[in-house]
Amino acid sequence: LQAREPMDNTSRSRQDASAHVLGTIARKRAGELLPARDIKRLIEDFVAGRVPDYQMSAWLATVACIGMEIEETEALTRAYVAGGMSVDLGGVGKRVIDKHSTGGVGDKVSLVVTPIVAACGVAVAKMSGRGLGHAGGTIDKLESIRGLRLDLAAAEVRALVNELGMVITGQSAELAPGDKATYALRDVTGTVESVPLIAASIISKKVAVGAHGLLLDVKTGAGALIQDHAMAVHLAQTMVDLATRFGLDCRAVLSDMSQPLGFAVGNALEVKEALAALRGDSIPGFTELCRVLSRLMLQLALPDLSDAEADQQVSVAVSSGAAHEKFLQWARAQGADAAQLANPDLLPTAPRREFIRADRTGWVESIDPRAIGNAALRVGAGRLVQGAPIDHSAGIVLQRRVGDAVAAGDCLAEIHYDEGDITSAKNLTASAFTLGISQVCVPPVVHQVFGAASRLQR
Catalytic machinery residues: 100, 179, 186, 201, 205
Distance from C-alpha of 170 to C-alpha of 127, rounded to nearest angstrom: 6
Stretch that binds a second copy, among 64-72, 338-346, 366-374, 397-405 (CB under 8 A): 64-72
Sign of torsion over alpha carbons 403, 407, 408, 409: negative
Q: Tell me the CA distances in angstroms from 194 to 73, 121, 140, 365, 368, one per residue in order.
A: 11, 37, 25, 30, 23
| Residue with Cβ nearer a second copy (6 or 351) | 6
Nearest to 94 by CA among 301, 299, 247: 301
Residues 178-217 that bind a second copy (CB under 8 A): 184-185, 187-191, 193
* Nearest-approach distance from CB 67 to a second copy, in angstroms: 10
Sign of torsion over alpha carbons 275, 280, 286, 287: positive
How many other C-beta atoms lie within 10 A of the C-beta of residue 253? Answer: 22
| Residue with Cβ nearer a second copy (153 or 188) | 188
Helix, coil or strand: residue 364: strand
Choice from 13, 36, 40, 57 touching a second copy (CB under 8 A):
57
Stretch that binds a second copy, among 109-117, 285-293, 384-392, 444-452 (CB under 8 A): 384-392
Task: Decide if residue 22 touches a second copy (CB under 8 A).
Answer: yes
Task: Decide if residue 9 touches a second copy (CB under 8 A).
Answer: no
CA 321 to chain centre: 26
Give the Cα-Cα-Cα angle 147, 150, 155 (nearest 5 degrees).
115
Choice from 16, 32, 49, 65 touching a second copy (CB under 8 A):
65
Stretch that binds a second copy, among 63-71, 136-144, 234-242, 274-282 (CB under 8 A): 63-71
- By CB under 8 A, how many residues form the interface with a second copy? 36
Residues 99-158 that bind a second copy (CB under 8 A): none
| Residue with Cβ nearer a second copy (52 or 284) | 52
Task: Decide if residue 36 touches a second copy (CB under 8 A).
Answer: no
Helix, coil or strand: residue 221: coil
Stretch that binds a second copy, among 37-45, 47-55, 94-102, 446-454 (CB under 8 A): 47-55
Distance from C-alpha of 156 to C-alpha of 18, rounded to nearest angstrom: 41
* Nearest-approach distance from CB 387 to a second copy, in angstroms: 7
Sign of torsion over alpha carbons 402, 408, 413, 419: positive
Task: Decide if residue 25 touches a second copy (CB under 8 A).
Answer: yes
Q: Tell me the CA distances in angstroms from 159 to 114, 152, 335, 339, one per residue in order.
A: 17, 10, 15, 25
* Nearest-approach distance from CB 127 to a second copy, in angstroms: 20
Determine phi and psi for 59, rounding to 5 degrees. Answer: -65, -45
* Nearest-approach distance from CB 21 to a second copy, in angstroms: 7
Task: Decide if residue 4 touches a second copy (CB under 8 A).
Answer: yes
Q: Write out the residues near a second copy by the rule CB under 8 A.
A: 1-4, 18, 21-23, 25-26, 29, 52-62, 64-66, 184-185, 187-191, 193, 385-387
